[in-house]
Each structure stands twice: as structure tokens, then as C-alpha cells.
Amino acid sequence: MSFGAVVTHGDNNQPIPEELSQWLVEVRIEQELNKPARFAIRFEDDICGDSFEVQNNMVLQPDSLVGIFVPVNNQESIQTSDMECLIIGRVTKIKSSLQLGGPGTWIEFHGEDRRIEMDRLAVTANWQGNGADIISSILSSYDFTPDVSDIDSEYTETEQLNQSGTDLSFLNKIVNEHGLNFWIGYEVDSINQTNGQYSVSQTAIVKISPPEEGATNLSLLPDDNQEASFRVNVIQSQCPNVNVFSAEVDTEVPNARLGQNDETESHESEQRAEAIGEGQTITEVGGAVRTIPRNSPGTEEDRQLRERSALRDASWFVEASVSTSVHMYGKTIHPHTIISVEGAGNTLSIPYQVKSVTHVVNASDHMMDIKLRSNTLGSRGA
């Protein structure tokens, strides 16, 4: 495989033909928590008279279905177990630049994952039943396999769930109110060795990420499935595996809510979204009480649900950035993953959740710029 990624087209995920792939220069994929993943595919274009090799090729067009696949563990193989899917989505924008004489001429195909299909048609509907079942029904209608949890709300004839807008905006509203995450997972089931077509399972996941432990706690504790650490300032024998690491700690974030009598509830109450395990939470680091405003619309149960979600979001008060590559780290990284950092000092050598990843793939490398978040800070001193 001469290029670092395979680009496919169509419902059957057929690799683009050689006459097109030979002009492929760079593939960029942006993955982020709770946002549709985006891609950009850049080709050089050759001008022969008034003819363009790529621009006139009919394989990639507006709304074309595109898939991007990369080797697992940076291996040059096309076996099923050695390939993974970063995105399957629709082309939404085409950019090009023409230069006199031909050299420097390029064309880019931009797009988003298939959530864009859910954001096209406005719908007016009144839903009844279990919240998770309602979301699963919508996701199934777009040929996703739904994996939905943590929505226990029941909607009746007198207390319906009203929709007025696209399916994506409706789903995002429920996701935000419940403090959930919504993302698409891909699994390569098989690769046809004759024509190279990829068979891929697409799962729409609606869950709290990372999973809660108990009522409100978000756990970043290491487990058997945790990824290898980012090693920053370590001795050479321990093999540093990042180019750049930077971090920011913001302690001026909410850490409590107002009680029913407008009295501040203790930040030790079950409404807090603290981390579990070792390390200092926002309450322990900042000390001062910072309350979120009362969320007045709806019932008291609705308000508590939204306030709990807001506190959970605010508990992520540590952010970091990492630059690495698949060659340095050893494998591809995705959002939602829990990764520890080593060699960044006592306070910042802690577990993080991957918040976003920007993949840049070309013929020589697969670079990854990564945003991390944490809801705890390491203790100072030895």
C-alpha cells in the first residue's frame, strides 16, 4: 500500500480506481466528542489541454459516499484484522485551485460523517414511550445499529416528547439534556480480496462517556483495556512517543448548584460530578464555591437533570494537547479513549480522556494532533 490510507466510494465501499488514487496527496480526518467527524481529501490535478484528470473523473461528486480506511498498527496490509475505518460520510463541499501551466493545481473533497443525512429534513412529531427506544428507532431508520443507554425517561400521551426540526437536532437536544455523548463506531467485518470492497458495521452510540461509576461520578481509572501511555519527558530507554505536550488548568468553573430553597448545596453532595480514584478534583484544587444558575423551564426533575449535566461538563477542568504519529505511538487513536500521560510532572501526569483527534495521512506518515481532557489533577510533590 503506497499511500497511508485507502479511500473508498459508494454504498459497497469500493476503493477509488487507480487512475484517481495516483493523484492522492493528503487525507485529513477530524474526530471530536459530540460533533460529526469531518474529512478532506486532497488530490493533485493534471491539466492536459482543457482536460482535468481528477476534476473530470465522475467517481467523487457532491453527496458521494466516501470511506477512509487506515492500517492498524501502521502495518502495510489489507487483511481485515489489519485495517480500520476512520469515517464513512458524504461529500458536502468541493474546493479547487488552478495554476497556470498545471503544477500546483489541486482539488479537495470535503465532507462529514453520515449524521449529515439526519440533518436534512425537518420533522414535526409527538413521541411516546421510553426515551432510549425512541432514539433507537430514529437511528435504525438511517441503517445504523443503535447502542443507546442512560435514557430512562418515559413519555406518555399527556407528557409527550415533541419534535420540531431535523432528526439530528432532536437527538442532540436529548443528548445534551441528559449529559450524554453521541458518536459513530465502525467495525471492518470483511474485505473482498477480489475487488477490495470493505464490509463495515456502523454503530450509532448514545451513552455517557466515560461511563459513570455510581450516581454522578466519571471514572478515568486505568483498566485492562487502557491504551499505552503518552510518554513525554522520559529517558530514551523508555521511548518518548510524543513530539509536543501542552496543558491548561482552568479552576474558575462551576462546582456546585443551588438547592430548592436557593441555598448552595455542598459540593460533596451527590449532585457533584467528581472523578474517582487518586488526584484532586476541581473542588479540591480551587476551593471556592462556584454555582451554576438555576435552569427554570420544566419540572424540578427536568431542572435537576440539566443541572447535573452542566456540572458534569464543568468537571473537565484540565485540557492538554499532544502531537504524535502512528509510527511513534504504535497505533491509531480515537476520541473517548482513556490514556495516561507520563513524564509531564506530578500534577499533569494523570489519566485523560481523548477529546478530539485530527488525523493527517500522506504517503510518508500518519500524524495525529490530539486534544485531551481530565476531571482530576495530580498531587504536588513527590
Residue from 58, 45, 41, 46 nearest 4 by CA: 41
Average pLDDT for the chain: 84
How much is the pLDDT for 270? 34
329 close to 228: Cβ distance less than 8 angstroms = yes
**Environment class of 21 (CB within 10 Å of its CB; exposed 0-12, middle 13-18, buried 19+):** middle
pLDDT digits (tens, 9 = 90+) for 121-169: 999 999 999 989 999 999 999 999 999 986 777 888 888 889 999 999 9
Neighbours of 76 (CB within 10 A): 9
pTM of the model: 0.88
357 close to 325: Cβ distance less than 8 angstroms = no
Q: Where are the domains of the chain?
A: 6-113, 118-187, 211-382
pLDDT digits (tens, 9 = 90+) for 75-94: 554 455 589 999 999 999 99
| Helices within the chain (DSSP H only) | 18-21, 131-140, 167-177, 282-286, 300-314, 326-329
CA-CA distance, 344 to 367, in Å (whole number)?
A: 21
Residue from 146, 142, 91 nearest 115 by CA: 142
Please indicate whether residue 292 or residue 39 has the higher confidence score (pLDDT): 39
pLDDT digits (tens, 9 = 90+) for 218-246: 556 544 455 689 999 888 888 899 999 99
Q: Which of 53-67, 169-183, 191-205, 216-230 is the least confident region? A: 216-230
83 close to 70: Cβ distance less than 8 angstroms = yes
